[in-house]
Every structure is written in C-alpha cells, then in structure tokens.
C-alpha cells in the first residue's frame, strides 16, 4: 500500500477519538454516518464536475478530496484501505462485465 495512503489511514483512525472542535475528521465522526455520507457525496459531485470541466488541477484536487473522504467512510466502518486494494487486486484479469455479473450471484 502507498506510504501516503497508509499514513493517512492511520491519522484518520487516530482522529476518531479527537475533539470535534479541534479536528475536521472528528467532527465528521461526531456527526455520524449521514454527515460522512453527505460529505462524500458532495466530493463525488465536485469530482464529476471537475472531470466534466477538464481542468487537470481541479480534477487532481477534487479526486484527492474524494479519496480522503472515502478513507473516512472506510475507517468509520472499520474497513482497512488494504481490504479495498486486495479487492482491486482480486479483480485483475477479470473483465468488468464478468466481475459485475459474478457479484449478483
């Protein structure tokens, strides 16, 4: 796993216990699942808009925000980023159509 991703996941996990007035991540956790999902949805929309606009810097910035908030959601559900990387690794060699069809069985 990327060192940056690893470090970020550790910090996010630590911030679960922080004071919501002192930590943005703690404020998300304090707001509960709905607050985390709302923020993740906002970031997903902003990423789509950046992609539509085609501005490279905006795409990078918004995707970083999307990934960050995805990590917050994972930590909220006690899912390690490595679990996601393992799932992506499992999918190597499968067509996207085949993988999706296998999920619904």
Position 2 pLDDT exceeds 80: no
pTM of the complete model: 0.87
Report the mean per-residue pLDDT for the chain. Answer: 93
Q: What's the CA gap between 49 and 58, in Å, rounded?
A: 9
pLDDT digits (tens, 9 = 90+) for 14-57: 999 999 999 999 999 999 999 999 999 999 999 999 999 999 99
> How far, rounded to the nearest angstrom, does the alpha carbon of residue 72 sit from its chain's CA centroid?
6
Position 105 pLDDT exceeds 60: no
- The answer to whether the beta carbons of residues 59 and 47 sit under 8 Å apart is yes
Q: Which two tokens stand for residue 45?
A: 């929309």
More confident residue, 3 or 59: 59
């Amino acid at each position: 796993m990327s060192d940056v991703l690893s470090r970020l996941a550790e910090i996010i996990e630590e911030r679960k216990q922080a004071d919501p007035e002192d930590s943005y991540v703690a404020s998300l956790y304090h707001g509960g699942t709905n607050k985390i999902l709302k923020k993740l949805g906002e970031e997903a929309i902003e990423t789509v808009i950046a992609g539509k606009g085609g501005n490279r810097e905006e795409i990078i910035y918004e995707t970083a925000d999307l990934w960050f908030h995805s990590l917050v959601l994972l930590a909220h559900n006690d899912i390690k980023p490595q679990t996601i990387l393992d799932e992506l690794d499992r999918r190597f060699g499968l067509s996207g159509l085949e993988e999706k069809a296998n999920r619904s069985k």
